[in-house]
Structure 1
């Protein structure tokens, strides 16, 4: 019989399967990627029990819970937990604090012939542990930024570096004003949790070698880079990736047109998917109209509409070139130059993708092809 655990580091390093017995509303707000929500109570049941607890105490709340989750529901929910436990015998269960809901779940499973250990302290303790990881490693692990103007291919270079922290990937956003992906972003809590787990894995056995991270702004879409990591990034050295304008326009078309439309159409096929893609770009352009300037905004919107029409009617992508070039020259480049001038860290090297790849290889940085 396996004991209950408070070895949170092992749980995250090994991605051990977990049953989260909290209500769905709690799970949506913040959870872990290797956890599955199998609630003891639904949102409505939890709400009613919570009111009873405040009005009449724990015993009355437990009695109402038993009334709401009768024998049939108890059997059904227990069956789901038991099936999970048999598929994942190495796993654990938890509730918010590792208290009553965990013990009830354990008891019902035991009656069905399965002992399944729980996590001491529950979600709250695991979340506190991960916040400590962000503070310690995010603020202290050596970093090297992969910096450069928009469209130079920073994400592609970073993706080849094995010891890297991909904030855009963790945030499900490309980081720019037009960086919204087809799928929604994680909640702020889940973004922090993802960063913490990635840092924990990167630091396993080696906290002294640098971790490479893209030189982002403070915001990645609607999400904020945690304070300790952001402060660390601001003082860290950087590699500056360079590319000529036509290369940057090519990357813009590949990432913000071809790839984005493919992602949108996986969720919404056909003409409806194209219109959703088009409207995203219209809205993104509208959001930057003040910084871009109203005259440039009108010019850019006309270019965008012409490009969308050529794309939709003739599958012609060339119309995006003047639109992307205008945005790079009048919006992205001035903003990047200003932000980069305020950095504290030194520049280790500048060059195109081949030059920086050579720099990395010369220093023994592990790369994927």
Structure 2
């Protein structure tokens, strides 16, 4: 039988193909980037075996498992495992702890298909622990700098221009504000943490020891930042990105209207515009109390007129009205944050100057 794999660093640095043999309910709670779920047991089978284990012990549970996963059911799953193994000869398989389930899949592959396929020692739990430790070690050992700026100032653009940028909003599939939801859903917090950790691991392997992050709250939509990282973000030095109101409005128009509608259209076809309009309307409603009644009603009317015109002609020009009006809500909030964190701000400038400063700053660390 192939030797068990223990080099978790190699697995993630080189994007080794992996099949996850856990049940779908486990996989959906958290998994690793690019991994395929090819379970030994489905959710119902897993639950029945688990109940049997609690009531009658391990041997009875093993017997039940063999009964449930046999015949045509086993043949179908074996065909999928075999296809994966043949398509990914340098890949691995794993279960939760690297125990019975992955051993069974490994044995069936060898006995029935003649494929001696390696499995990950310690399974999902050990790899997950490795990734959590990767982030904690970076927080302890590396330098971090935060990027702040008003809504629409282009912070994500700056982060993605620099090789030491960590795009937290990208990992979370969320733009970070009240209007930040995408057409497609967010990953689980576990998946978010795993994506962050893999990126940190790869960047450190390239020799990067200073990271750039957007100044975020603990939650990015429904995804929570790792606690140690968020604590560090309360003390890290900051760079502040300046941008004209006109450019900010155009950027928000592009991201929150044009690109968001395109996402909904691609995902939902004919229903796309209706769902897009509902999302915008709900996003505004979510900050109703903070806007105040009069301001909310004014912006809501501007948004409704813009959506009607967009549906009629395809023009997005009227959206600039409510977008510009949002500065009444966002700008004072950001101004307060800037003043509160003023002692940590070491540079202020427009995008080109900020990028140049951050590149030079990163070079000093190297």
Place the TM-score, normalised by the shorter chain, in its bin.
over 0.9
After superposition, give the CA deviation of every residue in 1:267-296 in whole Å (9 maximum; x if it has no partner).
1123x2111111001111111111111111
User: What's 2:314 paired with?
Assistant: 315
List alignment gaps of at least 5 residues for structure 1: none
- Kept after mapping to 2: 8 A contact 1:307/1:320: yes
Match in the other structure for 1:11: 11
Change (3 A) 1:364 1:44: closer
Aligned counterparts of 1:345 and 1:102: Cα–Cα separation in 2: 53
Give the 3 Å change call, closer, same or farther, for CA 40–345 of structure 1 in structure 2: farther
Q: Which runs of 4+ in 1 moved over 4 A?
A: 361-365
Greater alpha carbon shift after TM alignment, 306-315 vs 332-341:
332-341
Instruction: Measure, in 2, the Cα distance between the counterparts of 1:340 and 1:226.
Output: 23
CA–CA distance in structure 2, aligned partners of residues 200 and 193 of structure 1: 10
Q: Tell me by how many angstroms 1:71 deviates.
A: 2.4
> Any gaps of 5 or more consecutive residues in structure 2?
none
Out of 326, 329, 332, the residue aligned to residue 334 of structure 1 is 332
Equivalence for 1:254: 254
- Equivalent pair of 1:235/1:344 in contact (CA under 8 Å): no
Aligned partner of 1:349 in structure 2 is: 347
Q: Distance in 1 between matches of 2:62 and 2:342?
A: 57
Which residue of structure 2 lines up, in the alignment, with residue 105 of structure 1?
105
1:302 and 2:301 matched: yes
Asked whether 1:178 is paired with 2:179, we answer: yes
Q: TM-score, normalised by structure 1?
A: 0.94
Q: Partners in 2 of 1:356 and 1:255 — Cα distance? A: 21
- Aligned-pair Cα RMSD in Å: 1.7
Partner secondary structure for residue 316 of structure 1: coil
SS of 2:326 mapped into structure 1: helix
Q: Distance in 2 between matches of 1:143 and 1:305?
A: 42
TM-score (norm 2): 0.95
Distance change in 2, residues 1:187/1:364 (3 Å): closer
Structure 1 pair 50/292, CA: closer, same or farther in 2 (3 Å)? Answer: same
Equivalent residue, structure 1, for 2:189: 188
